[in-house]
Amino acid sequence: MNIKIYLVAGLSILFFLNSKAQDPQFTQFYSNPMYQAPSFAGAIRGYRAALNYRDQWPKMPGRFYTATFALDYNLSSLNSGIGVIAMTDRVGASQYTTSSFGIMYSYNVKIDRKIYFRPGVSFSYSQRSINQNELNFPSEMYDNGISPLLPGELSNTGYVDGGISGLLLVHNFWAGLAVDHLAQPNVTVTDKADKLAVKYSLFGGYKFYKSERLIGTKRQSVTFAANYKHQGAADQLDLGLYWSYEPITLGVWYRDLPFVKDLSRRDALAFLVGYKYKQLSAAYSYDFTISKLITSTGGAHEISIIYLFDIKQKKKFRPIPCPHF
């Protein structure tokens, strides 16, 4: 029994270390706007601080932990926005970790009274590491002098990367495109090349407001949104909606490619509840697995906290109407 466990673990490590690298994901991608696209940097009034944490597949050995912290500021006098973001992503008992720090810049272009375009650019530095002491290999079960089945020597690696994006805002509709990993850096911790594939993200949505009879009362809104991602051989589409009546927000998402039969995987249903108190917003979401792994993963838990330092600015600025979460 132990031999089988070690054999499976060893083969899994070999597969993982030689697999094509891909980015971690967030269900609440609008609560992590600068991870979504650099065009969101400074797309608010004043300052913003955002903290996100995701715990994926807690029932499976070797869980996925991802956390980000971001700060951005609206330079309204220069029609610009700047931001910084730090991320750590840890995978499995081997503590395979990616740590990164990025800077972002965006510029706000007013095309018409209700039409704006916001291009953005990002630069980042990342490091990847692995704890070899936590690895177990099939050869360790036998006293025959066979060395562990490693795909080469393991060592930490660092790399520089960049991305661009564009965001169009028309009244209560928005649409954007982000292209990340333009440098396609080599991210492997082995002596074999493993270039990080370019990631394309196409996202957008529309926000409907419900009219209130009394002036000054809180408004209800329903937001439809979508987020499509393509990276290497992976494709993913998130479709969902938010219902908001301050201070409460509820959301539901479906993750799949239902319109493309060959790529349909029925990955997950996600449910969200959020609460806003003055400038502070917090939300929790849970991904319910609906694929063949439904009884094995334990889903995914995600928490977001956002604080807006709303300050007075001489120049009027209209924030993007996308959801907080």
pLDDT score, position 7: 38
pLDDT score, position 14: 43
Answer yes or no: is 122 within a domain: yes
Number of domains the chain is built from: 1
pLDDT score, position 132: 65
pLDDT score, position 313: 66
pLDDT score, position 61: 73
pLDDT score, position 139: 53
Q: Which residue has the tokens 């009034």?
A: 45
pLDDT score, position 253: 93
Domain region containing 231? 2-309
Structure tokens at 51: 């903290």
pLDDT score, position 8: 38
Answer yes or no: is 325 within a domain: no
Answer yes or no: is 324 within a domain: no
Q: Distance between CA 271 and CA 287 in Å, rounded?
A: 7
Residues 6+ apart with CB under 8 A from 194: 18, 20, 21, 186, 187, 188
Q: Distance between CA 287 and CA 274 in Å, rounded?
A: 15
CATH number of the domain that residue 135 is part of: 2.40.160.40
* Greatest extent of the chain over all pairs of C-alpha atoms, in Å: 82
C-alpha angle 238-241-244 in degrees, rounded to nearest 5 = 145
**Alpha-helical segments (H) within 144-259:** none
DSSP classification of residue 109: E
pLDDT score, position 15: 42
Answer yes or no: is 322 within a domain: no
What parts of the chain have a pLDDT lower than 70?
1-21, 93-94, 132-154, 211-218, 258-265, 313-318
Answer yes or no: is 259 within a domain: yes
Closest CA to 324 of 248, 237, 234: 248
pTM for the complete prediction?
A: 0.85
Q: Distance between CA 260 and CA 290 in Å, rounded?
A: 17
C-alpha angle 204-205-207 in degrees, rounded to nearest 5 = 150
**CB contact at 8 A, 247 and 282:** no
Answer yes or no: is 258 within a domain: yes
Q: Distance between CA 79 and CA 105 in Å, rounded?
A: 11
Answer yes or no: is 317 within a domain: no
Answer yes or no: is 315 within a domain: no
